[in-house]
A and B are shown apart, each in its own frame.
Chain A
């Protein structure tokens, strides 16, 4: 199948590639760039496991094509922190906000996007923001606690 050239930024690095037009952004990140931290849980835009940031907004990478990301700035879980953990990741760790870990990259990035937009969300706002990310292990409570703790941690750092 014919390919299309694309240019984009992924985790701060310029990327040039030739992709088939039908390849999703998720498959491109995983299969072409080897960024397998982005997970596929449903491939129909419900579970949120494949959430990445595209130009700062949380996006389901299974629902857009790689060619649609032309010129975009993409952040995946691999690019969130340098060597250590980002405060959102630390908070998930401290508050047992993960079990099997499969939904975690998407959850962390969704929480990160929320806190970028709303540095001090209420519990209800946190739950609303996370409602598009399914977790089958935790019952969500510890994730909500972690996001609140991350908000405090980030506020303290400012």
Chain B
């Protein structure tokens, strides 16, 4: 492959301050809600207060006469819009089409029933309160296992069951492995349903020009081009007349990958009403109706030798899908992704998994940073801790005995993932060293004598990254993709980089500019990175699944390399030397060994555009190149160790520190890598200790504000130590691996593992997360009574 190794000079690999920051710091950055267009009207959605109910009637007459109201739309007014459906081409997944506005029945609290359009959001909400919906409440089911019972209330009657997918896969000789085992262990874990909760909620603005038939659709989305395609198909507008603009996006974490019913409705309203139509989600809507994530019920069974060797593993993963499965918010993404990565960093050849997806009267489940993998990692790592305790082994030692050793790369897992390279054992040893593991164990023993309970939790992980065709297939999702970058030097020598990947906090305007600047030999100040507008950026999938450093970095490198060659060709004709005798540094093209024979980038670019002597017959004059990249699969890895103390009277957990050693191959910008890791760790702390979307038995959502859905604040996140190992990928451009998700993939296991380690003297058993004080105290009580 070309560009196996990228040049590392002034820009690449340096801690470059983010070029995009000033506009955020001054409040100039325009997010969806900040975009003001003349004549805009506003939408408020009427949403179901019931988890499961039949809609007997909807009376919109009073609402329609309210001041400033333009229209009230219900399912009957949007019959032109097809229902949303799962986009995963996986055999055996039952379809559960979701109407964009509920028709006949509602299946979760927050499901949209009507859209009220008025001159202001205040007036729209006033009128929404006057929409009268007559419901016939139905029994609800909010537990996935209960939903599997034949007598459970059924969400989608036409299916006759709530089970939308069920498949068992056996890999290797599972029976043989269990026959050879000294011991067999079992564990069950019900991971919590938690949510991305980006600080900016969802929102969109539809602007339709009747005369030309053009739709401009602003949306807080991670995937502008995919949204453009879907809108064109849903609304029947030719795709070349649809433009999607994703302005500044205040965090996504996967939640803004989904193409939502609200987006389709708002786009349609814009077309029908002929005025700009805007919807900005409020937080209650976001918590109730944007995708939830990560809830699985996982049962594990391991065949183990007395020395701690894991011979075989059986897993049953039940994904609690919520009410519908649509496009990326598919019922399967949690349990299928979890099943694939269950063996993780360990050398396990005999493995059987059963993947089940079940509908419940809860919000649909979608992507959230490390989808499926968080639950699987948490279940397996906590299980391994328990096995170590039962065998009287140190949990670090159990991991050492089972981890894939360095000489085995490239390593193909029994589930078909090809781990290209990594520092699995080294990251474990380094994290233990950094945290002072041996000393901590001594201190733990001392403190126990004093009635204080210190715990250490280890989570050793591998993270599939660079979500292109190959890794998607390896992870079980046959969905081909590719992404594109256009690099252009304008006639005055300045550089434009347009990319299909989308930045909503990741800092692409800096990292991708670093790549272009390094290759083109210019200053980063002379590079601008454009994204998020389908009229300006080339086609691609957008940003999710730790793909943009690898794919974005790779495609920008390829395009910049081609443009560099064009520059050198043009300069070679001006300077009358061979291109290979030229180099570019600091924006100057010069003859190697004779730096005074040089031209500025301005001179070369200007001539390339306007002086025909720079160009041979048939050569393109533009200093521009568009290149695609669809990388080979690459896997990051690392180890996260948490130290905590648990107050056994109150159940309160005090986190002392979290140490993360990560390896994402070649780093474009270590500062940004650290930012990704630290942010994901904080989310993992939330997932382990605080965050849970709770429903009561009737399907009522109990956590619809930030008062009862708790996000970690600055006082809950302890000091974080991040250290880098760098094993460049042998299969990607520049050796880059992704880094977005590892922190959230691995931290819940590390934090929960630390808590359970602290409670080890009590044999406290916990099957549900998060580890709230109530759950800890309850577990301690029931262990006393055993």
Contact = CB atoms under 8 A, between A and B. Distances in A.
Interface of A: 20, 22-23, 30, 34-44, 46-47, 49, 76-78, 80-81, 85, 89, 92-94, 96, 98-105, 108, 126-128, 130-144
Interface residues of B, number: 55
Contacts of B683: 136
Instruction: Return the 7 tightest CB-CB contacts between A and B, nearest first.
Output: A37-B27, A101-B24, A102-B250, A100-B505, A139-B678, A99-B505, A139-B682
Given A98-B24, A135-B199, 10 more contacts: A77-B26, A80-B26, A85-B26, A101-B21, A131-B714, A134-B706, A138-B678, A140-B682, A140-B714, A140-B717
16 contacts: A37-B27, A38-B27, A39-B199, A40-B33, A41-B200, A43-B283, A46-B706, A76-B27, A93-B25, A100-B249, A128-B714, A136-B711, A137-B679, A138-B678, A138-B679, A141-B720
Contacts of B250: 39, 100-103
B713 interface: yes
Contacts of B25: 85, 89, 92-93, 98, 101, 104, 108
Contact of A39 (B22, B200, B679, B719): B200
Contact of B21 (A20, A98, A126, A135): A98
Nearest to B706: A46
Interface in B654-680: 671-672, 674-675, 678-680
Nearest to B720: A141
A96 B18 contact: yes
- Best-buried of B20, B21, B200, B715 by chain A (most CB within 10 Å): B21
A138 B249 CA distance: 15
B122 interface: yes
B29 A101 contact: yes
A36 B283 contact: no
Nearest to B121: A27
Interface string B30-43: 11011010000000
A80 B197 CA distance: 28
B705 interface: yes
B670 to A, nearest CB: 10
Nearest to B20: A101
A99 B680 CA distance: 12
B27 A105 contact: yes
Given A89-B26, A128-B715, A130-B713, A136 B253 contact: yes
A54 to B, nearest CB: 17
Interface string B122-165: 10000000000000000000000000000000000000000000
B18 A42 contact: no
A121 to B, nearest CB: 12
Contacts of A136: 196-199, 251, 253, 679, 682-683, 711
A139 B720 contact: yes
A78 B34 CA distance: 14
Nearest to B686: A136
B414 to A, nearest CB: 34
A64 B453 CA distance: 44
B120 to A, nearest CB: 8
A32 to B, nearest CB: 11
Interface string B187-200: 00000000011111
Interface string B462-480: 0000000000000000000
Contacts of A102: 31, 198-200, 250-251
A101 B282 CA distance: 18
B28 interface: yes
A78 B683 CA distance: 30
B290 to A, nearest CB: 13
Interface in B485-528: 504-507
A132 B713 contact: yes
B530 interface: no
Contacts of B717: 139-141
A86 to B, nearest CB: 9
B17 interface: yes
A99 B510 CA distance: 12
Contacts of A37: 26-28
Mostly helix, strand, loop or mixed at chain A's interface?
loop
Contact of A99 (B27, B30, B679, B681): B679
Nearest to A81: B26
A131 B253 CA distance: 22
Given A100-B200, A101-B248, A131-B713, A35 B21 contact: no
A46 B27 contact: no
Contacts of A47: 199, 283, 706
Contacts of B26: 37, 77-78, 80-81, 85, 89
A103 B672 CA distance: 18
Given A85-B26, A93-B17, A100-B199, A137 B122 contact: no
Interface in B688-709: 705-707
Nearest to B682: A139
Contacts of B505: 99-101, 137
A78 B27 contact: yes
Contacts of A131: 713-715
Nearest to B30: A36
A128 B201 CA distance: 26
B678 A100 contact: no
A36 B199 contact: no
A81 to B, nearest CB: 7
A127 B706 contact: no
A131 B712 CA distance: 9
Contacts of A100: 198-200, 248-251, 504-505
Interface in B26-81: 26-31, 33-34, 36
A135 to B, nearest CB: 7
B7 to A, nearest CB: 24
Contacts of A99: 251, 505-507, 675, 679
A89 B199 CA distance: 20
Given A78-B26, A93-B22, A104-B24, A41 B283 contact: yes
A56 B438 CA distance: 50
A41 B21 contact: no
Nearest to B711: A134
B261 to A, nearest CB: 22
Contacts of A138: 675, 678-679, 682
Contacts of A144: 714
A96 B707 contact: no
A93 B18 contact: yes
A49 B20 CA distance: 19
A43 B720 contact: no
A96 B282 contact: no
B705 to A, nearest CB: 6
A18 to B, nearest CB: 15
A143 B717 CA distance: 12
Contacts of B30: 36
A33 to B, nearest CB: 12
A144 B33 CA distance: 28
A19 to B, nearest CB: 11
Contact of B706 (A38, A42, A77, A130): A42
Contacts of A141: 678, 717, 719-720
B567 to A, nearest CB: 32
- Best-buried of A89, A132, A139 by chain B (most CB within 10 Å): A139
B705 A46 contact: yes
B339 to A, nearest CB: 28
Given A96-B18, A144-B714, A34 B36 contact: yes
